[in-house]
Amino acid sequence: MVKTRETEPYEVNIYKAVHKNRLIVIGSLVCLMLAFIACLVFMFKVYTHKIDSILVVNQQGEIIPVEWQQKKEVLTNQMKFHVLMWFENYYNLDRGSVDENRQKALWLINGEDFAQLEQYYNQKGWFEDIKRFGIVQKIEVAEIRLSGNAEPFSFLADCQITTRQNGIEKRYQLQAGGDLIFVESDYPRNPNGMLIINYKEKPWEEIIEN
């Protein structure tokens, strides 16, 4: 009987200790799970913050971050700027810049489209006339319209070209369009990392003032 009385408290203490240890283990597991979930939430927030920003190159060649919510506006401005660069380089010509400007324009458009355009104007002898007769050609882009929600984006531009030779000035209406795709940027030759493809222009229409 004495032996039994000695073992009963001992057995009860063992069960209590096991139960207590089990609670500690469960509590530790719960804490670990909560810490793991918190870590996942933190990593997700970091990831979403990372993808919610993009990098763009400004006109000075500096790389700057822009929030993802501004991406559409930024891309719209970049696409218009790229198209504007193309028109200003290819159509703003005089005797001294006719070759240099066309070389700059080549970086902004697909090579095949550029070659077709060059062939058209060379057959007309237009570039040689600019050099020979000192023609000054200027372009004014009135409007650039963009369309599409994914690459390739499309554009259509309304422009006015003015030519001046020996004091005689003529004006023409030019409408041209094409598509835009993304390529690796190359500052300053192609700072926006875009390329014009499928470029087409309508024949110039002379503006006659009554």
Residue pLDDT, tens place only, 111-129: 999 999 999 999 999 999 9
Residue 59 lies inside a defined structural domain of this protein: no
Residue 62 lies inside a defined structural domain of this protein: no
Residue 63 lies inside a defined structural domain of this protein: no
β-bridge pairing 63-67 and 53-57: antiparallel
Is residue 37 domain-shared with residue 128, that is, in the same domain? no
Is residue 197 domain-shared with residue 138, that is, in the same domain? yes
Which residues form the domain of 153?
70-206
Is residue 16 domain-shared with residue 106, that is, in the same domain? no
Is residue 37 domain-shared with residue 86, that is, in the same domain? no
Residue 186 lies inside a defined structural domain of this protein: yes
Residue range 21-42, pLDDT digits in tens: 777 778 777 777 887 887 677 6
> Length of the chain in residues, anyone?
210
In order, the DSSP letters of 11-46 are HHHHHHHHHHHHHHHHHHHHHHHHHHHHHHHHHHHH
Is residue 38 domain-shared with residue 115, that is, in the same domain? no
Is residue 45 domain-shared with residue 132, that is, in the same domain? no
% of the chain exceeding 90 in pLDDT: 60
Is residue 169 domain-shared with residue 105, that is, in the same domain? yes
- Confidence category of residue 59, pLDDT binned at 50, 70, 90: low
- Confidence category of residue 66, pLDDT binned at 50, 70, 90: low
Token pair of 40, please? Answer: 């996942």
| pTM given for the model | 0.68
Residue 136 lies inside a defined structural domain of this protein: yes
Mean pLDDT of 76-80: 94
The contacts of residue 54 (CB under 8 Å, 6+ apart) are 65, 66, 68, 71, 74
